[in-house]
Homo-oligomer: A and B are copies of this chain.
Amino acid sequence: RSSYGITLLPGDGIGPEVVDVAKDVLFVAGAKEGVELRFQEMLMGGAALDAVGVPLPDETLAAARASDGILLGAIGGYKWDNNEKHLKPETGLLDIRSGLGVFANLRPVTVFPQLVDASPLKKEVAEGVDIMVVRELTGGIYFGKPRGFGSNDKGEETGFNTEIYSVSEIDRIARVAFEVARKRGGKLCSVDKANVLEASMLWRKRVTAIASEFPDVELSHMFVDNAAMQLVRNPKQFDTIVTNNIFGDILSDEASMITGSIGMLSSASVGESGPGLFEPIHGSAPDIAGQDKANPLATILSAAMLLKYGLGVENAAKRIETAVTQTLDNGFRTGDIYSPGTTLVGCKRMGKEVLKAL
């Protein structure tokens, strides 16, 4: 096949700006490999709330499901922060993840050599960091039931959630992580809290069991508190990390910050079948929205992940990655990664430079 339908979900804040730029890059990179891409833009997040009153309209989910890959900008903003749960932009995001069944969230954490000075870590600690965080995305405490508000035996109000994993949920994310580790450095670190939580004890037991299918991958286990420390102390010790939904949320954000270039980091969420969801890991940055200041590179690199993990057009993905490297080498920087001696550009111009490099 050489023609694919892509759903674009620009979302909120800087989302529309970065998706707009990334779309062009995606189109051109595809074309250069003989792949035709058709785009359909749909509403999601705050934009959908404002337009039709729900954060994930049925038509959006249906269109996403029927397409070959989804590129999401960012969702959320102050405006909707105090909304009730079912009217939060975030709820739309959780619903589309769950609706698409994209249980595996891959987050590459890479320190770009050109940007190593932007890391809050010392150069010798940060340089060369190259981690893949594999986060379970459709289970655990994010979706576990029962959840809600109740009252305890003293008649006091309570708020509660359930952290729960089943064998098959753990096995499938473990297999994805082992596959990823196998194609990378061959080392997988599974992060849990098995010294306290039963959900983690089952996690550790199953990950250990699945390891026998991957004798070529070296498996280790680490408690989440220790992992949070080790990521700061010596991030280079990690190759691939696999962990549950909530620990993955925390650790992948922590890890992304050690790179100093969160505006550069992409992510892929994939399931067993069906289209994947690709998005930058940064948020909607409402404070700089509409000012042509956003860094589109994370979304452009997410488009590359869409080509690679979503459509299997690895060569087109490589083209984008090379073009991004080239653009950085050429000295172009948006505000978030600017340093003296480089050329400060806006979102659109950055996109043009990547296109030129393509």
Whether B164 pairs with A90 at a CB distance below 8 angstroms is no
- A167 lies within 8 A of chain B by Cβ: yes
Contact among B193, B252, B254 with A232 in the assembled complex (CB-CB below 8 Å) = B254
Kindly list chain B residues whose C-beta atoms are within 8 Å of the C-beta of A262: 229
Contact among B90, B167, B231, B232 with A195 in the assembled complex (CB-CB below 8 Å) = B90
Kindly list chain B residues whose C-beta atoms are within 8 Å of the C-beta of A197: 141, 147, 159, 161
| Assembled-state Cα–Cα distance A125/B246 (Å) | 27
Whether B232 pairs with A202 at a CB distance below 8 angstroms is no
Interface residues of A in 134-170 (CB under 8 A from B): 141-142, 144, 147-149, 152, 154, 156-168
Whether B202 pairs with A229 at a CB distance below 8 angstroms is no
Kindly list chain B residues whose C-beta atoms are within 8 Å of the C-beta of A161: 162-164, 197-199
- A228 lies within 8 A of chain B by Cβ: yes
Whether B148 pairs with A198 at a CB distance below 8 angstroms is yes
- A94 lies within 8 A of chain B by Cβ: yes
| Assembled-state Cα–Cα distance A253/B232 (Å) | 10
- A268 lies within 8 A of chain B by Cβ: no
Q: How far is the CB of A211 from chain B (nearest CB, A)?
A: 16
Kindly list chain B residues whose C-beta atoms are within 8 Å of the C-beta of A148: 198
| Assembled-state Cα–Cα distance A327/B199 (Å) | 45
Chain A interface: which size bin?
35 or more
- Complex interface bits, A59-86 against B, C-beta within 8 A gives 1, otherwise 0: 0000000000000000000000000010
Residue of B nearest to A258 (CB): B232
Residue of B nearest to A195 (CB): B90
| Assembled-state Cα–Cα distance A253/B262 (Å) | 22
Interface residues of A in 39-66 (CB under 8 A from B): none
Contact among B160, B168, B253 with A164 in the assembled complex (CB-CB below 8 Å) = B160
- A38 lies within 8 A of chain B by Cβ: no
CB contact under 8 A between A120 and B234, given known A165-B158, A228-B254: yes
Copies of this protein, total: 2
- A225 lies within 8 A of chain B by Cβ: yes
Residue of B nearest to A152 (CB): B166
Interface residues of A in 227-269 (CB under 8 A from B): 228-234, 246-247, 249-254, 256-258, 262
Q: How far is the CB of A147 from chain B (nearest CB, A)?
A: 5
Kindly list chain B residues whose C-beta atoms are within 8 Å of the C-beta of A231: 254
Contact among B85, B94, B202, B250 with A228 in the assembled complex (CB-CB below 8 Å) = B250
Interface residues of A in 166-194 (CB under 8 A from B): 166-168, 193
Can you list 16 A-B pairs with a CB-CB distance of less than 8 A? A120-B233, A141-B197, A142-B196, A149-B202, A154-B168, A158-B165, A159-B165, A160-B162, A161-B163, A161-B197, A162-B162, A225-B252, A228-B250, A229-B262, A233-B257, A247-B250
| Assembled-state Cα–Cα distance A102/B141 (Å) | 26
> What 9 pairs between A and B have smallest CB-CB spacing?
A159-B202, A228-B254, A160-B164, A225-B253, A229-B257, A159-B199, A232-B257, A159-B198, A90-B195
Whether B229 pairs with A232 at a CB distance below 8 angstroms is no
Whether B166 pairs with A198 at a CB distance below 8 angstroms is no
Kindly list chain B residues whose C-beta atoms are within 8 Å of the C-beta of A167: 156-158
| Assembled-state Cα–Cα distance A251/B224 (Å) | 10
Kindly list chain B residues whose C-beta atoms are within 8 Å of the C-beta of A199: 159-161
Whether A253 pairs with B234 at a CB distance below 8 angstroms is no
| Assembled-state Cα–Cα distance A121/B231 (Å) | 12
